[in-house]
Copies of this chain bind each other. A is one copy, B any other.
Amino acid sequence: MTDTPSLISPTPTTRSDDRFPAILGMMASGSGSNFEAVARSIDNGDLNAKIAVLIHNKPEIKAIERAHQRGIPTVFLDHRNYPTREELDRAIVTTFRAHQVECVVMAGWMRVITQVLIDAFGDRIINIHPSLLPSFPGIGAIEQALAAKVKITGCTVHLVSLEVDAGPILVQAAVPVLADDTAATLHARVQIQEHLILPQAIEMLASQLRLAQLRR
């Protein structure tokens, strides 16, 4: 206890930003480290959002455990059960709508999406890709960068369009490629940046949504 007068009210008024957390629906096919990064950014107040649900298409991935530890429901949609990509996307849309999802975050989702998802969520679908797009789109971006012997690669968060790994870029980060890098060591270094820029990009989109809500 000190007598120093408090310059900040002990019961601060709510920041306008905090009134409308963006409701996120996340999609993952792997470890869920990007899911975890987003969840932590919400925890520490950098990102004003709420993860409503995590959809995964692989049965036993680490992302599931990470979600359950945070009390976030997970939905398993096995792509092999859907004869077409459109039918899988219809199931995704149905799931997200049931959870009032506003923004879709593809955090290592390894399936090509269709017009069905775009019709439902328009320009509120975000993807993260482990290269400085437009270099090295598609699968194996880390391996592509190593094969091209670039000295700098990185990662990109972009809005999703039908063309794979295209669409307006929101945030990028550059990562040096070291002489003795393997795919594993380079991927690890790129992921550190992914975990920084994905929450930043979601907050950019979320703040646009909040602005739209305040104007209503």
Contacts of A169 in B (CB 8 A): 148-151
**Chain B residue with Cβ nearest A153:** B132
Q: Determine if A164 is an interface residue (Cβ-Cβ < 8 Å).
A: no
Contacts of A134 in B (CB 8 A): 135-136, 148, 150
**Chain B residue with Cβ nearest A134:** B135
Q: Determine if A173 is an interface residue (Cβ-Cβ < 8 Å).
A: yes
What is the bound-complex CA distance between A169 and B132, given in angstroms? Answer: 16
What is the bound-complex CA distance between A148 and B154, given in angstroms? Answer: 16
Q: Determine if A61 is an interface residue (Cβ-Cβ < 8 Å).
A: no
Contacts of A57 in B (CB 8 A): none
Given contacts A135-B134, A135-B135, contact A174 B152 (CB under 8 A): yes
Extra contacts, 10 of them, besides A151-B171, A152-B172 (Cβ < 8 A), are: A132-B150, A133-B135, A134-B135, A134-B148, A135-B135, A148-B169, A150-B169, A151-B170, A152-B154, A154-B174
- A selection of 16 A-B contacts at a CB cut-off of 8 Å is A132-B132, A132-B135, A132-B150, A132-B152, A133-B150, A134-B148, A149-B168, A149-B169, A150-B169, A150-B172, A151-B171, A151-B172, A152-B172, A152-B174, A154-B174, A174-B174
